[in-house]
Amino acid sequence: MKRVLPLAFVLAPFAAWADPDPAHWSTVTATAQGQTVYWHAWGGSTATNDFIAWVGDRVEEDFGITLTHVKLESTSDAVNRVLAEKTSGQDDDGAVDLIWINGANFAAMKQADMLFGPYAEALPNWQFADTEGKTLQHDFTVPTEGFESPWAMAQVVFMYDTADLAAPLGSMPQILAWAKAHPGRFTYPQPPDFLGTTFLKQALVDLADDTTALAAPLREEEYAEITAPLWAFLDELTPLLWREGRAYPQTGPRQLQLMNDDEIDLAISFSPGEASTAIANFQLPESVRTFVLDKGTIGNASFVAIPYNSGSKEASMVVANFLMSPEAQLHAQDPDVLGYGTILDMTKLPVEDRAAFRTLDLGVATLSPEDLGPVQPEPHPSWMTRIAEDWVKRYGVAN
């Protein structure tokens, strides 16, 4: 059996089978005891797998919950499983209890009424969430509305070699000015690589006077005007890039290799802790540091969601709440564990938790949560699909 029902639950009238209410947290935690949560999450990282195993140990110890990691190659596999169950009428005790989810997969499940909720903003640890400084209530512009809860942050940073670049650069125009004075010392992965496309997004957001339109689906009649500053910027920047923009690194790791080989002095990352980890692994010089732009940089949260037909909704909420706890967030931010950014607002934490984050050694090149500054929201995916296509037409090369 997938779960063990408390005796009171067995004897309860039919009305007691209604979805659990996270506002009644003591009832949620009591019912969660003995339940098994099948967490469907990407399994391609040993560090991530180890972290999930640690979470399993902690929720078993504190709440009597069994957490089973179902390792995925693609999140869509879990989405399709829930969809198949919904189509066949399996509306109870489904195979998926919790999903690590983002973007289009979340939008698809939300639109198809395949998610339990809203629950996230009623969880006890939501009180510590940084809802002002981080994008925790929108997932690639789609309002979460409590149907998924955040557990990790990614944010754009720029890695720079202080041996060659004396100080951070605060904007895309400053990067362009520096590139004019130091041609060939900057590049980015070739779009449609995710990190390369991220650079295009970051440039668009930083150069735009008003980013309001980027939060909505692209409208053809405004596309040319809004993207004009981006193309003007890239027209100037491209011939100043590594190999005069006639070749690009294909991936983020290849970009790091160019910096390690002293071919470039500036590179983009979507992980604030990547540079420190690379330095520790002798993949980058010890002189590399990171910076963010003055207006902030693009970031997004990793979320978990509970399918509508989970048979372990109570335990799944307990796991989701634990993931937002200062204990789990501190553990995930440790560069020896994951090095993920925290979703928490340091000013909301108890003094002892705040001190633990402050004293955590994030690595020599990692900015503190305070120094990462404001997070700019992701543009709507339709903008980036079109911009990546147009980039290939304008600047694409065959490496």
Domains and CATH numbers, the chain: 7-150+302-366 (3.40.190.10), 155-298+376-395 (3.40.190.10)
**C-alpha–C-alpha distance, residues 55 and 34, integer Å:** 16
For 132-177, what is each residue's pLDDT tens digit? Answer: 888 899 998 889 999 999 999 989 999 999 999 999 999 999 999 9
Residue 13 pLDDT more than 70? no
Contact 48, 332 (CB under 8 A): no
Of 9-23, 28-42, 269-283, 374-388, where does mean pLDDT reach its minimum? 9-23
Question: In which band, very low, low, confident or very high, does the pLDDT at 399 lie, cut at 50, 70 and 90?
Answer: low
The whole-number pLDDT of residue 193 equals 87
Using the predicted structure, report yes or no on whether residue 16 has a pLDDT greater than 60.
no
Is the peptide bond preceding residue 168 cis, with omega within 30 degrees of 0? no
- Give the pLDDT mean for 338-359: 93
pLDDT given at position 251: 87
For residue 284, the surrounding DSSP H or E stretch is none
Contact 193, 202 (CB under 8 A): no
**Angle (nearest 5°) at CA 311 between 104 and 301:** 30
What residue type is assigned to position 215 of the chain? A
| pLDDT above 90 (res 337) | no
Q: Is residue 314 pLDDT above 60, yes or no?
A: yes
Quick check: helix, strand or coil at residue 396? coil
59 CB neighbour count, 10 Å cutoff: 22
Average pLDDT for residues 279-302, to the nearest whole number?
93
What's the confidence (pLDDT) of residue 18? Answer: 58
Average pLDDT across the chain, whole number = 91
Q: How far apart are CA 269 and CA 256, in angstroms?
A: 10
Contacts of 226 (CB under 8 A, 6+ apart): 204, 208, 213, 214
Query: What are the pLDDT digits (tens) for 383-393?
Result: 988 999 999 99
At residue 214, the pLDDT reads: 93
Confidence (pLDDT) at 398: 63
Judging by beta carbons within 10 Å of its beta carbon (0-12, 13-18, 19+), is residue 305 exposed, middle or buried? buried
The Cα–Cα gap between 127 and 343 comes to 11
Question: What region, left, alpha or beta, does residue 189 occupy, with left being phi > 0 and alpha being psi -120 to 50 degrees?
Answer: beta
Nearest-angstrom CA–CA distance, 149 and 123: 9
DSSP 307: B
Residues 298 and 215: their CA atoms lie apart, in Å, by 13
Predicted confidence at residue 151, as pLDDT, reads 97
